[in-house]
Amino acid sequence: MKTFQSIALIGTGNVGFHIGEKLHQLGFSIECIHTRNNVHELELCERWNTKHCSDIQTIQSDLVIVCVSDDAVQTVIEQIPTKCKVLYTAGSVELASIMRENCGVLYPLQSFNRSKIIDFSTVPFLIESTSTAFTEEIRTFAQLLSPKVTVASSKERGLYHLAAVWINNFTNHMIYTAKNISDENHLNWDYLLPLLHETVAKISTLSPYDAQTGPARRNDEQIIQKHLDLQEGIQREIYLLISKSIQQTYKKDDKL
């Protein structure tokens, strides 16, 4: 069941692209797209059988989905005609900060990359709106995208977003740093990949607390210092701070 006859999509970055692609696959009419990056615009217009909208204020669609950065959400929504219902996908923008009726949140708790296909059936969607009736509309709509749909307050969503940054963004940067160490020292990166896979896989059977290993967990100060001597600048500071955090986490247990 389609809840909205026509949809406009503002923002065709990683999130916007994948949501637009899924809606097109489901047979929704994407009436127009608006994006400040014109690189893929013609391709997407042809791909989704839609058109470009140069002026947000002229959008007439039943639903407008705003897939822009958190900082731009409020400015963009202020330009959308009041008769349109609006959903935004940002993780940390509080709904109360958007002074508008028929406004809601459709936050996919997943990392998106334009070049990688996403299985939407595994993606949790956190929803919220300004009214009970619109919340139910959003729920019905979101369940067409994924079976994992739940209502979450702005506070809860912000905390999910914070946790997601630790899990995904920070972890990826740590892997990037490790890749640089490997490349700069002519190591075989493939030798480290099984360790990376095991690190992620064991979380399905162990809690992160129980899964922790390494020199900081063992309070092996000699090894920590050797590693510090091999690094400099902010990389060294990060290593030291994380080591201290791990040691502090297990300090009580180590005294038992």
Predicted confidence (pLDDT) per residue in 70-87, tens digit: 999 999 999 999 999 999
31: pLDDT confidence band, cut at 50, 70 and 90?
A: very high
24: pLDDT confidence band, cut at 50, 70 and 90?
A: very high
What pLDDT is stored for residue 254 in this prediction? 62
Predicted confidence (pLDDT) per residue in 184-203, tens digit: 999 999 999 999 999 999 99
Residue 124 and residue 101 in contact, taking contact as beta carbons nearer than 8 Å: no
Predicted confidence (pLDDT) per residue in 216-245, tens digit: 999 999 999 999 999 999 999 999 999 999
Predicted confidence (pLDDT) per residue in 212-223, tens digit: 999 999 999 999
What pLDDT is stored for residue 2 in this prediction? 62
| All structural domains of the chain | 7-152 (3.40.50.720), 157-254 (1.10.1040.20)
